[in-house]
Structure 1
Amino acid sequence: MQDRYSRQVILPNIGEEGQKTLLKSKIAIIGCGALGTVVANNLVRAGVGKISIIDRDFVELNNLQRQILFDEDDIGIPKAVAAAEKLKRVNSDVEIEAMVKDLNHLNAEKIMSGVDLVLDGTDNMQTRFLINDVCVKSQIPWIYTAAVGTYGMMMTIVPGRTPCFRCFLPDVPEPGSLPTCDTAGVLNTIPVIIASIESTEAIKILLKENMTTNAESNLIFYDVWNNTFEKIAVMRDKRCRCCVEHKFDFLNAAKKEIITSLCGRNAIQITPAKSADISFKSLAERLKRLGEVRFNNFILVFKERDKEISLFKDGRAIIKGTDDEKAARSLYARYVGI
């Protein structure tokens, strides 16, 4: 331990006992894009003992501008898998679990069960509200983080001690009301900065060094282009449906197939209500007569005219070339058949 973590152990903030605590800690990182790759890289190198990386997507060329764990050889590979393979070569002390899954109300409690902390690396509000429901219900600390354009923000949420995410934002904003990386772009320096702040807060929580209410009731906002830093006080909502009334609206959604429009991508994601175990070899044999098909251990990609289906082993699919849910469901039924 001394050699690998020597520069960290000599910090009075951590020390040998703190390092031992980190090595015994378990965290989940939800989303492995610009934010998730930075926080995963930081915490694997810091020696957090077990890290689960959950991401539904695969690496694309436009990711390489800001998602620091990936290179051109990773294009087409699930992000969680590509990240885990690199990080295992960085630190063999750490147990890294790659989960190629879409976090949703069907699996969220199981995925986050038993962890000491959940870290937000997602790119959509719906998932953050779900994370908040699970963490408040199970009393798991979590850190909200976002980055777009030239600015980023972060808020630490410790159930029972601080306001929750729905105290800050009671309901999902209207579609199109918030900027996204697809519509507003993102400078590649801001995810690194805001995710590094998130990583530091994560270490403090794991070491029980950030457990006072005042410290955790601030939304941190940083604009890297204008070099402005703000702390915005967030108060507990005494009528909050989540942390006060314990109504978990996002977790208790109807248990059915989930169809999601992927913002800015002209694509629809379909997650079946029941997980499958698809044989890519058999399916590829059937599909190759109809269009172009390729697959590896993690993903099958089928192209037919102007449509593309990226299918994962559990039956989840991303269908590119349409933003029409009915058309996407029809293509899924026609070619995948489940």
Structure 2
Amino acid sequence: MKRYSRQTLFSPIGVDGQERLRRKHVLIVGLGALGSSIAETLTRAGVGKLTIIDRDYVEESNLQRQLLYSENDAMERMPKAEAAKRRLNEVNQDVEIHSIVGDADVPLLERLAPNIDLIMDGTDNFDTRFMMNDISHKFHIPWIFGSCVGSFGSTFTIIPGKTPCLQCLLKKLPMRGQTCDTVGIIAPAVQMVTAYQTAEALKILSENQWALRNTYVTFDLWQNQTLSIKADSIKNADCYTCGHYPTYPYLQYEATTKTAVLCGRNTVQIRPATSTNCSIAVLADQWKKAGYKVSANPFLVSVLKDEHRMVLFKDGRALIHGTNDITIAKRVYHSLIG
């Protein structure tokens, strides 16, 4: 097919590989900077079907790095999943796009999983990534982790039964706790991460698994640093997700972040699955440097973000004041906490 002629000329894909791409179904969770770039690349590549999920809407601050969206999308506050679908249909009508405006929660992921060939990480928080990690292993679906903030990015390809999972990885290679709302981000860092992610995706979808990278890659474009770490040895036989006796803990209710609308207070409470010991002083300093109005005492920190105020307690529990909408509350929470 002429449309894909340059891609089929690339011998590892070829005509047969292109036909394999056409038969595949990819789930993209999150349509921010990473997810929107992934979605466009895979749509242009001719992947047969994409299911795209996002709970958020387009804002003006997204336009600097989220390539699928327009100023009109931001002015209309279009849900990202719908705005992305509209643009992707303009890019390639041969690709079936199924959009979902909402949370990627456990029931939804379990319902979608049996028909998925690959999961792509476009999220901005580890709650969702841990669920994706468990879904991946429970249903034996490969998934590709990606993360970026500032000029820093990282990515890792996870193949159930072969590679370490995200839980194994985090025990040895702790991630940064920063967010785009606190330290910013430059668009080239996004494009570098998605270049790695989508290259790996094309290998899996065209059935060229022999070419997959077996390292965790991290880089800082501003500091001109790149590190590739061989990860095979960190796979943990006792891991609850990928070990010999998996229990998939993040698919259990007890391991999920709990939310509750506080009656009559225009406030949503968000409580992490496990109690933490937040560093109030560190967070207060980080948010002040980002330009937010912050106050703190030894027990909690309060931060004002736009029209919402978040109060975070030392145990990780947060109150988001100024909304009864759980989706909005989660967006505020994750933009500040990561």
Q: Same fold (TM over 0.5)?
A: yes
Whichever residue aligns with residue 134 of structure 2, its letter is D
Distance, in Å, in 1 between the alignment partners of 2:246 and 2:71 is 45
CA distance 1:3–1:78, change in 2 (3 Å): same
The answer to whether the aligner puts 1:72 opposite 2:71 as a matched pair is yes
**Counterpart for residue 184 of structure 1:** 183
Q: CA deviation at 1:37?
A: 0.9
**Counterpart for residue 227 of structure 2:** 230
Task: Provide the identity percentage.
Answer: 37
Q: CA deviation at 1:121?
A: 0.4
Distance, in Å, in 2 between the alignment partners of 1:78 and 1:257 is 23
Whichever residue aligns with residue 136 of structure 1, its letter is H
**Counterpart for residue 151 of structure 2:** 150
Distance, in Å, in 1 between the alignment partners of 2:49 and 2:194 is 19
Q: How does 1:258-277 map onto structure 2 within 5 Å?
A: 258-259=258-259
Q: CA deviation at 1:109?
A: 1.0
Whichever residue aligns with residue 13 of structure 1, its letter is P
CA distance 1:32–1:332, change in 2 (3 Å): closer
User: 1:153·1:221 contact (CA, 8 Å) conserved in 2?
Assistant: yes
Post-superposition Cα deviations, 1:142-180, rounded to whole Å, max 9, x if no partner, equal: 000001110111100000111111110149979xx6111
Distance, in Å, in 1 between the alignment partners of 2:250 and 2:64 is 33
Q: How does 1:241-256 map onto structure 2 within 5 Å?
A: 241-244=240-243, 245-254=245-254
CA distance 1:330–1:81, change in 2 (3 Å): closer
Post-superposition Cα deviations, 1:202-231, rounded to whole Å, max 9, x if no partner, equal: 00011221257xx55411112222232221
Whichever residue aligns with residue 309 of structure 2, its letter is T
Post-superposition Cα deviations, 1:103-152, rounded to whole Å, max 9, x if no partner, equal: 12232211333110000000001111110001111000000000111011
User: 2:268·2:324 contact (CA, 8 Å) conserved in 1?
Assistant: no
Post-superposition Cα deviations, 1:47-97, rounded to whole Å, max 9, x if no partner, equal: 000001111100011111110111110010000110110010110110011
**Counterpart for residue 330 of structure 2:** none
Q: CA deviation at 1:322?
A: 3.4
Whichever residue aligns with residue 150 of structure 2, its letter is G
Q: CA deviation at 1:237?
A: 1.2
User: 2:216·2:229 contact (CA, 8 Å) conserved in 1?
Assistant: yes
Post-superposition Cα deviations, 1:224-257, rounded to whole Å, max 9, x if no partner, equal: 2223222112221122121113121111124999
Distance, in Å, in 2 between the alignment partners of 1:27 and 1:65 is 26
Distance, in Å, in 1 between the alignment partners of 2:41 and 2:323 is 42
Whichever residue aligns with residue 129 of structure 1, its letter is F
The answer to whether the aligner puts 1:94 opposite 2:91 as a matched pair is no
Distance, in Å, in 1 between the alignment partners of 2:249 and 2:105 is 13
**When you count helix as a share of all residues, which structure comes out higher?**
2
TM-score, normalised relative to structure 1: 0.75
CA distance 1:128–1:251, change in 2 (3 Å): same
Could you list the runs of 5+ residues in structure 1 that have no partner in the other structure?
262-266, 271-318, 334-338
SS class of match (2:40): helix
Distance, in Å, in 1 between the alignment partners of 2:89 and 2:18 is 19
**Counterpart for residue 27 of structure 1:** 26
SS class of match (2:193): helix
Distance, in Å, in 1 between the alignment partners of 2:247 and 2:122 is 24
**Counterpart for residue 10 of structure 2:** 11
Distance, in Å, in 2 between the alignment partners of 1:327 and 1:233 is 41
TM-score, normalised relative to structure 2: 0.75
1:218 to 208, 215, 220: 215
Distance, in Å, in 2 between the alignment partners of 1:106 and 1:179 is 29
Worse overlay, 202-211 or 112-121:
202-211
Whichever residue aligns with residue 99 of structure 1, its letter is I
User: 1:154·1:219 contact (CA, 8 Å) conserved in 2?
Assistant: yes
CA distance 1:31–1:9, change in 2 (3 Å): same
Say what the alpha-carbon RMSD is for the aligned residues: 2.8
SS class of match (2:100): strand
**Counterpart for residue 279 of structure 1:** none
User: 2:28·2:53 contact (CA, 8 Å) conserved in 1?
Assistant: yes
Distance, in Å, in 2 between the alignment partners of 1:172 and 1:152 is 13
Distance, in Å, in 1 between the alignment partners of 2:257 and 2:126 is 19
Q: How does 1:286-301 map onto structure 2 within 5 Å?
A: none
Whichever residue aligns with residue 161 of structure 1, its letter is K
Q: CA deviation at 1:326?
A: 6.0
CA distance 1:121–1:217, change in 2 (3 Å): same
CA distance 1:53–1:221, change in 2 (3 Å): same
Could you list the runs of 5+ residues in structure 2 that have no partner in the other structure?
262-266, 271-305, 312-317, 327-338
Distance, in Å, in 2 between the alignment partners of 1:230 and 1:260 is 41
CA distance 1:258–1:171, change in 2 (3 Å): farther
